[in-house]
Structure 1
Amino acid sequence: MRARTTGRLLHDPKGGSFWFDAGALCLDFAHTGGEGPYAVFETLHEPADLAAWLAQPPPAAVVTAPVTEDELAAAKALRQAIWVAAHARAADRPVPAAAIAAINRAAAEAPLVPGLGADGTSIAWQPPVRAAQALSTMAREMIELLSGPFAGRIRECASDDCPLVFVDTSRPGARRWCSMERCGNRHKLRALRARRTTDQ
């Protein structure tokens, strides 16, 4: 079954977790780990981890063939490209050619194929369901995001020490934080303490 919402529970290696909705499945996927300093956030350690992530809604894509090491490597390459492209767009910089090439390469594969469920009212992915198809679907979503009306609303969290990126699809377009329960509340607490210090 395919869900229409986005967002995932993110876990901090230092402890704690919070709900983060990046506003697009491809951007949610970009936050499953990373390279360099972001390697501590890695969640896709082996092919089964990728299969488990894809099985959760969205995209609720339960693979019908085991994920391969090559597909895991391709997933991480796409994830890095989405991360780089999103940050470039958020900073109003050109998207690097290498990121564009990696996204296009993933998008060139056959995507997931939706079908009508047996009840006649729900959507299910048509078999076979492979990891490469899910990657293609996310790459195509990123292409649409970067070339569509919300391209100018891809943003990095306004907190000085938070690199999470999201697309603000709200009507007013005023979202600043990755999550109000995390960076939004921290900002409010800092502002409150600053006011109290000033008032003393």
Structure 2
Amino acid sequence: MNHEHAFVCGNPVLDFAATLRARRSARFEMFATPDRLDAWFIESGLVDSVVPGGEADVERAKAVREAIYHLVTARRHEQDYDQAALDLVNDAARRPPATPQLTRAGRRTEATVEQALSLVARLAVELLSGPDVPLMKECGNPECTRVYVDRSRGTRRHWCGMESCGNKFKAAAYRARKKDASAAAGR
């Protein structure tokens, strides 16, 4: 299967929140169509198959995603939760979740978009009330707005992922240093 979504945040809830990229600048929407949303649920590993959703499912998923992002941001900055965001996530979490089934081939989870969204919302409740809260950081790339769980030794990680942001940032810094050095040499 061709994976088009990125999973670098260390928690599917944070990967879900990161499907609106570069929030401060370009704002790139990963859930442009219902099939992109369906693909995310499957690629995330939360479900094995999803009943194809429609535009209304996409709008609901985006609303829940934005509510999760606001709650994560509030938690990171030790601010009060926005009540509307809290209500939206809790409402999604109250819906029946996808239920794994045992088959001859092993475990299989089939879901509707609402059931898959319920799983994400329940995981958000766990994340935001759990031990990983102090480990949540925003990527050091100013263009990137992903929040990730830093489980590195000494919690020294600066990027959501080396492939996505770390290498780009390091390469840009290297080029800037090289340019400065050659400019200094030419003085």
TM-score range for the pair, normalised by the shorter chain length = 0.7 to 0.9
Q: Does 1:168 align with 2:150?
A: yes
Q: Quote how far apart the aligned CAs of 1:149 are.
A: 0.3
Q: Quote how far apart the aligned CAs of 1:103 are.
A: 0.8
Residues 47 and 93 of structure 1, relative CA distance in 2, 3 Å threshold: same
1:118 pairs with 104, 110, 114, which one?
104
Which piece of structure 1 moves more, 184-193 or 101-110?
184-193
Secondary structure of 2:35's aligned partner: helix
- Corresponding residue of 2:9: 22
Q: Does 1:143 align with 2:125?
A: yes
Q: For residue 25 of structure 1, what is the amino acid of its counterpart?
A: P
Q: For residue 90 of structure 1, what is the amino acid of its counterpart?
A: R
1:80 pairs with 66, 74, 94, which one?
66
Alpha-carbon distance between aligned partners in 2 of 1:194 and 1:149, rounded to the nearest angstrom: 39
Q: Quote how far apart the aligned CAs of 1:42 are.
A: 1.4
> What is the CA RMSD across the aligned residues, in angstroms?
2.9
Q: Quote how far apart the aligned CAs of 1:86 are.
A: 1.9
Give the number of the structure whose alpha-carbon radius of gyration is greater.
2
Aligned length in residues: 180
Alpha-carbon distance between aligned partners in 2 of 1:190 and 1:34, rounded to the nearest angstrom: 20
Secondary structure of 1:28's aligned partner: helix
The question of whether the paired residues in 2 share the 8 Å contact of 1:61 and 1:134 is answered with no
The question of whether the paired residues in 1 share the 8 Å contact of 2:138 and 2:145 is answered with yes
The question of whether the paired residues in 2 share the 8 Å contact of 1:90 and 1:153 is answered with no
Q: For residue 108 of structure 2, what is the amino acid of its counterpart?
A: A
Secondary structure of 2:45's aligned partner: coil
- Corresponding residue of 1:179: 161
- Corresponding residue of 1:62: 49
- Corresponding residue of 1:51: 38
Residues 20 and 51 of structure 1, relative CA distance in 2, 3 Å threshold: closer
TM-score normalised by structure 1 residue count: 0.74
Q: Quote how far apart the aligned CAs of 1:156 are.
A: 0.5
Alpha-carbon distance between aligned partners in 1 of 2:180 and 2:26, rounded to the nearest angstrom: 38
Q: Quote how far apart the aligned CAs of 1:167 are.
A: 1.6
Which piece of structure 1 moves more, 185-194 or 41-50?
185-194
TM-score normalised by structure 2 residue count: 0.79
Secondary structure of 1:166's aligned partner: strand
Q: For residue 151 of structure 2, what is the amino acid of its counterpart?
A: T
More helix by share: 2
Structure 2: which 5+ residue stretches go unaligned? Answer: none
Alpha-carbon distance between aligned partners in 1 of 2:143 and 2:31, rounded to the nearest angstrom: 24
